[in-house]
Amino acid sequence: MSNNEEVSMDMGFDTSEVAPAQALQVIPDTNGVLMTITNVGIKDTKDEDGKVIKKRMSLTLTVSDPESKYKGRKVFQAYNIRNPNLDHQREQQAQVSLLARACGVDGRDASKLIGCEVLGDVRHDPAKGDYEAKNKIKDGSWKPANGQSMATTGDAAPATTKPAVDTRPAFMRKPKKAEAPVEANEQPATDEAKPSE
């Protein structure tokens, strides 16, 4: 196109004939909303020396319940998965772990969450200062969309999954069975069947 040609500025419709868009209202508090994770992002926050001090995981969820009047609406959720405040970090990582279990995935790769359908309790977060009202997911509300219990979602996990660590104080844990000492000339017992003499 040469500089002498005029560009048409005709939009192809008359704005006076189309109803103006309305601002989207937040979804009211609703339990068990079926959503699909459509995007996951992770962003580092670094200090002045370039050391990563915070890591934030952002999720975009799209309401996917065909019966919902909010179908197609987006809910944005973020978790501070690395934080100088270790209590906050543990709480946030526990929320991500619950979400991953509800999706039936494990490991370190956040992209495995994309496409997962999950149930979550949507909450209305009122406007504060310069921030508009928004939706968020209630902590601890993630559930599998397929109705499975959380215990069965891990059945497909690879064998590399570590067993849960018992964090109870020592006096509350069951004592481990003590093994009988092995005498100097005695062979330790094995599970293999010994031939009979």
pLDDT per residue as tens digits for the range 12-48: 999 999 999 887 789 999 999 999 999 999 999 888 8
List, for residues 165-195, the tens digit of each pLDDT value.
544 455 545 555 554 554 555 554 544 444 4
Share of the chain above pLDDT 70, in %: 73
Please report the pLDDT score of residue 16 as a whole number: 94
Does some domain include residue 10?
A: no
β-strand partners of 35? 63, 118
Smallest Cα–Cα separation from 122: which of 88, 73, 89? 73
Q: Indicate whether this model's pTM tops 0.75.
A: no
Contact between 37 and 64 (Cβ < 8 Å): no
Does some domain include residue 105?
A: yes
Q: Is 168 exposed, middle or buried (0-12, 13-18, 19+ CB in 10 A)?
A: exposed
The domain that holds 42 is classified in CATH as 2.40.50
Say how far apart CA 75 and CA 72 lie, in whole Å.
10
For the chain, how many structural domains are there in total? 1
Q: Which domain holds residue 89?
A: 25-152
